[in-house]
Amino acid sequence: MDYDYGIVGGGPAGYTVGMMLAKQGKSVILFEKDKLGGTCLNKGCIPTKSFLHYSEIYSELCKASSYGINAENINLDFSKITEKKNQTVDRLRKTLELAVKNSGVNVVYEEACVRDKNTVAAAGTEYKVQKIIIATGAKPRELKGLEFDGEFILSSDDILNLQTLPKSILIVGSGAIGIEWARILSNFNVEVSVVELAEHLIPIADIEVSKRVERIFKQRKIPFFLNDYIEKIENKSVTLKSGKILTPEKILVAAGRVPVCPKCDCDSILGDACGEVQLAHYAIHQAKAEALGIPFDKKLVPSVIYGEPEIAWVGMREQDMDDTYTKAILPITALGKAWCDDCTDGFMKIILKKDKICGAHIVSKEASSLIHIFLTAIQNNISIQDIKKLCFAHPTYAEGIFDLIIGL
């Protein structure tokens, strides 16, 4: 049978473009060598956020006595937490598999090889297609001298399968993966250290965000080493370039991911494989642009790092601006809801050109939701004066947006 489209890879880019094309009446065959859902569902967003949620419950229980709630004999069985994470992932994958099937996409669970621009082979069978879309994702970046062994030196894939928690861990890198795992493991009372080659934690973030996260890490006694890297490892003793010697039980290499993209004839490359922004929502919107012709501004893709407090940003950073910008900052301590939630560490910050927002940066509970209000304003060129006309509910974190701009 011939198909209109052959899609290699069943992650967010692959399954999204496949379902959208199928709903337009196109015949689609999708090849997935492992499991539908890609990195996000199976080895990234979903399992990590599951661990984060359970770690925050545990951390809250441990300090509940300060609220007058006395919880005694708190027992942590990490293997059951891992089991619960797996159940969540499995349930979501089954839902996804059903949705893909019902959309009319034919899925072949085999490794695919693109023979030519109109032929894809899998398990000894050749499939003829009019167009080929590659969405083969990415894999953890391996560093020289820190090759993954699954025991002492772990990738972000390896750490998801731990059955017991280490007593201590050194995390290499402070991007989203590194910061989130530092928070997860610290919540579980693991001794966490972070080493970062750049001058600040989260080097891609606005400078004030980076500095606030550094302050939070200091408050929570999570040591970090900046402008530093691992120089040598001998008998599991780690020496940093700065001369600091650490003896972690495990090392997590969180140095990002590299595209996995076969060299072949194809009509388009989507998702992590294309080597652009490695975020699931970026991949999904690439798929929408491909299948439906709905464009999106690649410069206005929100970034979120989860944990307490959340970190989110979109648009321009202060360090990227010329001398014609202004900024406004609101501390989260100004919000009644933050005090009710006992989550007062953080701020909202906007970068402005005249009366228009061109960048927003948040460290706060609910930052992952709040950032979309700013995104809407930036993308639609809404003025500060028009935002002031909005009525925000009280008490909420969102009303901080009004407090932030009312004096401008």
pLDDT of amino acid 96: 98
pLDDT of amino acid 301: 97
pLDDT of amino acid 17: 98
**Of 132, 130, 127, 129, nearest in space to 108 by CA:** 127
Distance CA 222, CA 220 (A): 6
Residue with tokens 């441990």: 62
Residue 30 dihedral angles phi and psi, to the nearest 5°: -120, 135
> So where are the chain's domains?
2-139+257-292, 142-253, 303-405
3-state secondary structure of 197: coil
Distance CA 151, CA 158 (A): 8
pTM of the model: 0.95
Distance CA 295, CA 292 (A): 9
362 DSSP β-pair partners = 312, 348
pLDDT of amino acid 323: 86
Residues lower than pLDDT 50 in the chain: none
pLDDT of amino acid 265: 87
Fold of 2-139+257-292: FAD/NAD(P)-binding domain (3.50.50)
303-405 belongs to which homologous superfamily?
FAD/NAD-linked reductase, C-terminal dimerisation domain (3.30.390.30)
Contact between 148 and 140 under an 8 Å Cβ cutoff? The reply is: yes
pLDDT of amino acid 70: 87
Distance CA 106, CA 36 (A): 12
CATH of domain 142-253: 3.50.50.60
Q: What burial class does residue 392 get, using C-beta atoms within 10 Å of its C-beta: 0-12 exposed, 13-18 middle, 19+ buried?
A: middle
Domains 2-139+257-292 and 142-253 share a fold: yes
CA distances from 351 to 49, 97, 330 (A): 29, 42, 12
Distance CA 11, CA 330 (A): 38
**Quick one: tokens of 379?**
């993308």
The 10s digit of each residue's pLDDT in 348-401 is 999 999 999 999 999 999 999 999 999 999 999 999 999 999 999 999 999 999
The 10s digit of each residue's pLDDT in 32-63 is 999 999 999 999 999 999 999 999 999 999 98
3-state secondary structure of 259: strand
**Quick one: tokens of 369?**
């939701």
